[in-house]
Amino acid sequence: MGKTVGVIGAGMVGITAASFLQRDGHSVFVLDPGAPGEGASFGNAGCLNGSSVVPMSMPGTVRNVPRWLLDPLGPLAIRWRYLPMAAPWLIRFIRAGAPERVKAQARALRALLAPSVETLLPLAKAAGVDDLIHRAGHLWAYRTEESFRKDQAAWRLRRDNGVAVTELDADQLRQTEPALSREFTRGILVEENGHLGNPHRMVQGLAQEIRRNGGKIHQIRATGFVLEGGRLTAICSDRGDFPCDAAVVAAGAWSKPLAAGLGDSVPLETERGYHIMIRNPEVMPRLPVADADGKFVSTPMETGLRFAGTVELAGLAAPPDWRRARILLEQGRRLLPGLRASYPEEELSVWMGHRPCLPDSLPCLGPSARSPDVIYAFGHGHVGMAASPMTGKLVADLVTGRAPAIDIAPFRAGRFA
C-alpha cells in the first residue's frame, strides 16, 4: 500500500527522489521556499560524471591551506571573517584526506555515480526531457607535464575504481577538441561521462511530470517534524503542518538544522560555487572540458557556454564576490582563445550557489537517528547532479521497504558522531 511522502527540497536530488517514489505508487508532495531547480541545481556544470570519485580532500591537502587564505580569487578561497566558523569543518576535511579513508570514499562514490546516466534516462524520457542528456565524454586538459604528473594519484584512484581513461598527447588533444588553446600539451578523455544541456530545464521537466502524475509542489519552507513514539506524523512548515507517513530531507545546504532536530549533528558546510555564461559564444566545445590547473569546467549548453567551478568558504549569508565569476571568463579565454576579448553585459550572466558539502565528500543518505520514517538525502557537494539519480532510487528503496540497490553504510549520518 502506498504511503504519503513529503520531500523537503526541490533541487535535482529531491525531484528525482519524488519521481522514483511516485513510480513506487506513493503519494508525493514537495516543499521548498523556491521553485524547482533554482538552487545549486540551476547553476552547476551539468556533468553526469561517473568518474567523479576523487574526494576533495586528498593526501597532502593541508599544505594548500595557507594559499587558500591568501588568494581571494584562487580555485579554493576562504574568507578570513568566516575562518573561525569554518575551522572545525576544515580540520575534519584535512583528516578525511588520509590515504585509506580516501580509498574507501572513492569506492563509495563510484557505486553512487557509475549508473548516473542509465538511472536518469527513464525518468527523463517519461518527462520528455531526455534530449538534454548527452554522452560525449569529458576531457581534462593540462598545460604542462608537471601538472599532468601531479594529478596522477587522482587518476590512479579513478582507474582503481573501474574508470576507463584515454591519455592524449598534444595532437590528439587538438583532434578531440579543436577549439582548445595550443598552451595545452596533455589530456585525458573519459568517454563514459555525460552532461546535461540545461540542468535547470531538466529539473523543471521532472517536476512537471510529478505534477502530471498527481504530486504537489509547494513553495513553502519546512521547519521540522512531528514524531509520535518515533514514528513520523507530519512535516512542520512556516504555513502549518503537512501530514505524511515518510519524509525525505533533500534541502541541500539548508539541511543541517532539519537533521539536528532529528538527533543528528552533521558537519554540513556550503562550498559556494560560481559560474559565468556567454549566451552566443564564437566557439563552443563539443564536450565538457576541465582546465586541470584552473579547476573549472567549460560546458556546452543550449543556453550558451558555461564556465563553472571554484570553491569559496564564506557561509550561507555572505554576499557573492562577483570577481570570482568574472575571473572564470578570463580563464575561459585562455582555455578557448577563439572567444572575443570582451562582451557586452547583455551577452553574459553570472551566478553563485551553495553546494552542500561534508568533509569526507560523501553525502548523508539513510534513516535519521530518531525516526526510520525520515530519510536523509543531502550533502552531495560537487557531484549532486551525477549522484541524484541513484540517490533518488535509493530513497525509494528505503521508503518502500526494499533492500537498497547499493551499500549505503558509508553514507550514514552517524559516521560523524
If you search the block for the grid coordinates 578570513, which residue do you land on? 80
**pLDDT, position 68:** 72
Query: CA dist 86 to 11, 89, 92, 307, 356, Å?
Result: 25, 5, 10, 26, 14
Which residues are bridge partners to 313 per DSSP?
A: 78
**Whole-number CA gyration radius for the chain:** 21
Number of CB atoms found within 10 A of residue 226's CB: 14
The residues facing 234 across adjacent strands are 226, 243
- CB distance 364 to 379 below 8 Å: yes
Place of cell 580555485: 75
Q: Which residues of the chain have pLDDT under 70?
A: none
pLDDT at position 316 is 97
What predicted TM-score, i.e. pTM, was given to this entire model?
0.97
**How buried is residue 197: exposed, middle or buried, by Cβ count under 10 Å (0-12/13-18/19+)?**
middle
Q: Specify the pLDDT at position 63.
A: 82
Distance CA(169)–CA(85), nearest Å, equals: 44
Per-residue pLDDT, 60: 86
Residue listed under C-alpha cell 584562487: 74
Torsion, Cα 315 317 318 323, to 10 degrees, reads 90
Residue 253 and residue 380 in contact, taking contact as beta carbons nearer than 8 Å:
no
How many residues make up the chain in this entry? 417
Q: Please give the grid coordinates belonging to residue 320.
A: 557573492
Residue 65 confidence (pLDDT): 74
CATH class belonging to 4-416: alpha beta
> What's the gap between Cα 329 and its chain centre?
22
Extents of the domains making up the chain: 4-416
- Report the C-alpha gap between 223 and 8 in whole angstroms: 10
